[in-house]
Structure 1
Amino acid sequence: MKQLIIGNLKAQIPIIQGGMGVGVSRWRLAGSVAKEGGIGIISTAQIGYDEPEFETDQLKANLKAIKKHIDMARTIADGGIVGVNVMVATRQYEKYIKAACEAGTDIIISGAGLPIKLPELVQGYDIKIAPIVSSLRAASVILKMWDRKYNRTADFIVVEGPKAGGHLAFTKEQLADRQFDFDTIIKDIINHVKVYEEKYQVKIPVIVAGGIYDRDDIRHALDLGADGVQISTRFVVTKECDAGEEFKKAYLKASHEDIAIINSPVGMPGRAIITPFIKKLAAGKIPIGKCYNCLEHCNPKEIPYCITKALIEAVKGNIDEGLVFCGENVYRLNKMTTVKELINELVY
């Protein structure tokens, strides 16, 4: 398969490993993917959950952990490309971006909202930036704003479809529609991007995410005109994934019937494995004992549960009390593997 070239960055294979939080993709997974020729992405969502000061000062713990995990990923990446995923919905978003810049990240991917100010926040750094979008409208708004306000464009774009894991920018009706035409969205965005490629005389790679499981899925995305793919779910059941073993086992045990679309406190639907925690939610609100100040527009008095606590419990292995986000194809997983073995299966 072809290389993925983003400006002066060159990945040997057209695969970006998706940023999965809390704690699922940190230094070990991202560094291992980078070593094998892909682009490894560290999720900054509550990345410092296991730092000593996390319970008393989440921001300090997370900002420290961003540098720590980028540095550690570099030690095993063998010169490969290491980036971060920072959610726009993150409280103190600007500080997370600055911490990643100062730590020397190669790439910043940003979704869960429109990263309108991202170009301003990375000024002075040679860092490639990309929004995550799920519609032509979102892509159009971001590219137009970056063009008008900052006289620049995206270095690449991640187009995330309805089969992805975690938070989804689709309605429940769209997610339930088996005939939903994501291919047309991809092609429309590719065509729209050409306007900015011509204006700025650059190549803007389009990356397809959500439901990419095997070589055929990668080929299909490339045949549509995309330049690469982003894969998340499959990397969870690798030896190098930073999540606990019980988290990985939950992926391997999941059947098609164990996957549900849930309501997230952030106001978006999300795809997750049905755990005892999810079943408990059906009975009503789960009391929140502590606010971790993780998301903008999150009021502990109104939300049904604390998403930070639920995600931390899951990644630590306490599945009964945890929220386990997953992609639609999680039920197809049947064995543990390694990053190298997985990439060989997908590409070579």
Structure 2
Amino acid sequence: MPAATVTHPLIIQGGMGVGVSNWVLAKAVSLRGQMGVVSGTCVDSLLVRRLQDGDLGGDVRRAMAAFPFPDVSGDVLMKYFRPEGRAPGEPYKEIPMYRQVVTRVREQLTVLASFVEVWLAKEGHDGVVGINLLTKVQMPNLATLYGAMLAGVDYVLMGAGIPKEIPGVLDRFAAHEPAQIKFEVEGMGADTAYLSFDPRVHSETAPVAVKRPYFLPIIASNSLATMLTRKATGRVDGFIIEAPTAGGHNAPPRGEIVLNERGEPQYGERDVVDLEKMKDHGLPFWLAGSAGSPEALAEALDAGAAGIQVGTLFAYTEESGISAELKRDVIRQAQEDRIDVLTDGRASPTGFPFKVVQIGGTMSDPAMYGKRERVCDLGYLREAYRRPDGRIDYRCAAEPVDTYVKKGGTAENTAGRKCLCNALFATIGQPQVRKSGLPEEAPLITSGDALKNIRRFIGSDRAGYTAGEVIDYLLSGLKRIVPSRMPSMSQPAPRIQSTPAR
């Protein structure tokens, strides 16, 4: 009997962290029949900051009440919830930074946070919701995936690396089995380290029916697509092909890196994905990077794609997590043709090129960058390395220079590095306040190269717009969608029905 097929959305809303692609935005997109995506990056810190800000509206607490481990929700509320919010000038209470092995309580916090974000995005409708993760943010990813699956996430999107082990992880979690992935540690030599997560530590049997979500790796080359289809540990269900014009982290150029006069890495023909070869895999694919227009959607369909992924247009909607003031500033400067996006090869501690919107009052301003006291207290982009005594330790190129050098890093590698973790929290209106009396953390905005085209969408006299308007705009060039051209593939693994935990 042939496998059932399913129709997938034409439009995937980009999974922009930290908290830009929040549950509000994802839900708004999903309700319109497209794929809403929440960001899984730093989602545990995002949860506790929302609780410390008073959880206005009670949404977080409503989702926590649905979490299948009520003792965990109760403990987190007791520790972090502030009914009246923080006092003026009071710093956020931070959570312990991730390591290769963390306590059961720390692991459960991440599971809870991921569950909350996905549960809220899916609440009250049957539209599809995905979660976006970065392969480079290694240590929290397993717990984040499990929490999302407990909430019924439909898709997992993953880029910034080679996520070939993730399909097998999804298979094992759907069966309530433990999983592990290789832990990238500098200096390991012939030895191998692993990151592990065992659902049975938290419950002997699966507390809810768990489905295996679709897995869509985000790629920038034909060779990576081929490798994943051949060597992934489980089923790959399609691809998101991201051009270097997309926001956030970009894949480095292939071959020798050449910089232009602005210090930006230059991309060439080797960085263009051959879509005809992509068809040979027999899997649907979506195009990303400057894809936010009706023409781009039509061209993608004509080229054989299933649709497009769009981030930048959705980033400045009323529903996104970027603070209202920053949204207004960016939209106004784009309308006045004063906006600029730099592909900064130094900004990210990961070493990947990172798109930075050049706008005053943010960390893109050299004066603002120079005033900031270097500190690493969130640690999501720390790299692991092996010490001479054999133990694994952690460092970040954006931490204090002396500290980084003492851990075996080079001072040269710290030049221009920005604390993306703290800056991106500031971008969504949750800046950390420093006890030292220094100014609170400044924001940093990332968007794709197409940001300057935003005025084409809303004109020159509007100050804002909604996610629904973006979807209407993107679909406006399609007179009709022929069913035979819609992407389809086999249904995911069936739900595993288990006895509720006692």
Cα distance in 2 for residues equivalent to 1:232 and 1:225: 21
The structure-2 alpha-carbon separation of the partners of 1:211 and 1:221, relative to structure 1 and needing over 3 Å to count, comes to same
- Pick from 214, 239, 245: which aligns with 2:324? 245
Partner of 1:306: 419
Distance in 1, Cα, partners of 2:116 & 2:244: 33
Given candidates 124, 135, 139, the residue that maps to 1:88 is 135
Taking the aligned partners of 1:27 and 1:8, their CA distance within structure 2 comes to 27
Q: CA RMSD of the aligned region, Å?
A: 2.8
Listed one character per residue, the Cα deviations across residues 295-335 of structure 1 (whole Å, up to 9, x for unaligned) are 25152344433210011111218799211000111112234
Letter in 2 for 1:132: I
Residues 25-48 of structure 1, C-alpha deviation per residue, up to 9 Å, x if partnerless? Answer: 111000110100100000011124
Q: 1:88 to 1:72 in 2, by over 3 A?
A: same
Paired position in structure 1 for 2:435: none
Q: Which residue of 1 aligns with 2:386?
A: none
* Alpha carbons 2:252, 2:353 under 8 Å: kept: yes
**Distance in 1 between residues matched to 2:307 and 2:119, nearest whole Å:** 26
Cross-structure match for 2:63 = none
Residues 100, 28 of structure 1: CA spacing in aligned structure 2 closer, same or farther, 3 A cutoff? same
**What secondary structure does 1:289 align onto?**
coil
Give the aligned partner of residue 443 of structure 2.
322
Aligned to 1:113: 161
Give SS of 1:323's match.
coil
Could you tell me the TM-score, scaled by structure 1's length? 0.84
Structure 2 runs not aligned, ≥5 long: 53-79, 81-92, 99-105, 175-210, 384-394, 405-413, 432-439, 456-461, 477-502
Would you say 1:55 and 2:94 are equivalent positions? yes
Structure 2 residue matching 1:140: 3-state secondary structure: helix
Confirm or deny that 1:140 pairs with 2:140. Answer: no
CA distances 1:41-81 after superposition (whole Å, capped 9, x unpaired): 000111242244561246645432211111111125x2100
CA distance in 1, matches of 2:272, 2:322: 35
Q: Among 273, 296, 302, which residue is 1:185 paired with?
A: 273
Aligned in 2, Cα 1:168/1:227: closer, same or farther, shift over 3 Å?
A: same
- Counterpart secondary structure, 1:288: coil
Cα gap change, 1:66 to 1:122, in 2 (>3 Å): same
Q: Distance in 2 between matches of 1:81 and 1:259?
A: 31
Partner residue, 1:153: 235
1:39 partnered with 2:35: yes
Q: How does 1:116-265 map to 2 (within 5 A)?
A: 116-123=164-171, 124=174, 125-146=211-232, 150=233, 152-171=234-253, 173=258, 180-181=268-269, 185-193=273-281, 197=282, 204-252=283-331, 253-254=333-334, 255=337, 258-262=340-344, 263=346, 264-265=348-349
Partner of 2:472: 344
Name the counterpart of 2:14.
Answer: 18
Q: Which residue matches 2:500?
A: none
2:350 — aligned with what? Answer: 266
Bigger fraction of residues in helix: 1
Q: Could you tell me whether the CA contact under 8 Å between 1:17 and 1:41 is conserved in 2?
A: yes
Contact 1:27 1:242 in 2 (8 A): no
Q: Is the 8 A contact 1:245 1:317 kept in 2?
A: no
Distance 1:248 1:118 in 2: 34
**In 2 relative to 1, CA 309–183 (structure 1 residues): closer, same or farther, beyond 3 Å?**
closer
CA distance in 2, matches of 1:174, 1:181: 16
Give the secondary-structure state (helix, strand or coil) at the position aligned to 2:25.
helix
Q: CA deviation at 1:281?
A: 7.1
User: Contact between 1:166 and 1:326, CA under 8 Å: does it hold in 2?
Assistant: yes
CA contact (8 A) 2:222 2:278 kept: no
SS at match of 1:225: coil
Distance in 1 between the 2:322 and 2:453 partners? 19
Which letter maps to 1:68? V
Say whether residues 1:333 and 2:446 are aligned partners.
Answer: no
Cα offset, 1:260, TM superposition: 1.0
**For residues 122 and 174 of structure 1, do their structure 2 counterparts lie closer, same or farther at Cα, with a shift above 3 Å needed?**
farther
Bigger CA radius of gyration: 2
Counterpart of 2:364, as a letter, is I
1:229-285 CA-to-partner distances (Å, cap 9, x unmatched) read 100000122222222212312431244652112121111111111134222279769
- 8 Å CA contact 1:170–1:269 kept in 2: the answer is yes
Paired amino acid for 1:190: M
Distance 1:236 1:283 in 2: 23
Identity of aligned residues (%): 25
For the pair 1:293 / 2:353, whether they are aligned, the reply is no
Q: Which residue in 2 is equivalent to 1:200? A: none
Q: Please, what TM-score do these two structures have when normalized by structure 2?
A: 0.60
Give the CA deviation at 1:343: 1.0
Contact 2:286/2:305 (8 A) holds in 1: yes
Provide the rounded CA distance (Å) in 1 between the counterparts of 2:441 and 2:95.
25
Label 1:58 to 1:188 Cα distance change in 2 as closer, same or farther (>3 A).
farther
Instruction: State the secondary structure of the residue aligned to 1:120.
Output: helix
- Give the whole-Å Cα distance in 1 for the aligned partners of 2:286 and 2:326: 27
Structure 2 letter corresponding to 1:70: V
Report deviation, 1:290.
3.5
Cα offset, 1:114, TM superposition: 0.6
Give the match for residue 499 of structure 2.
none
Output one character per residue of 1:191-229: Cα deviation in whole Å (capped at 9) or x when no partner. Answer: 341xxx3xxxxxx21111111121001111111111111
Aligned CA distance change for structure 1 residues 186 and 103 (closer, same or farther; 3 Å): farther
Shift of the alpha carbon at 1:187? Answer: 1.1
Asked whether the equivalents of residues 42 and 84 of structure 1 are also in contact (C-alpha less than 8 Å), the reply is yes
CA distance in 2, matches of 1:109, 1:57: 26
CA distance in 2 between counterparts of 1:283 and 1:338 reads: 32
SS in 1 for 2:428: helix
Question: For residue 305 of structure 2, what is the amino acid of its counterpart?
Answer: A
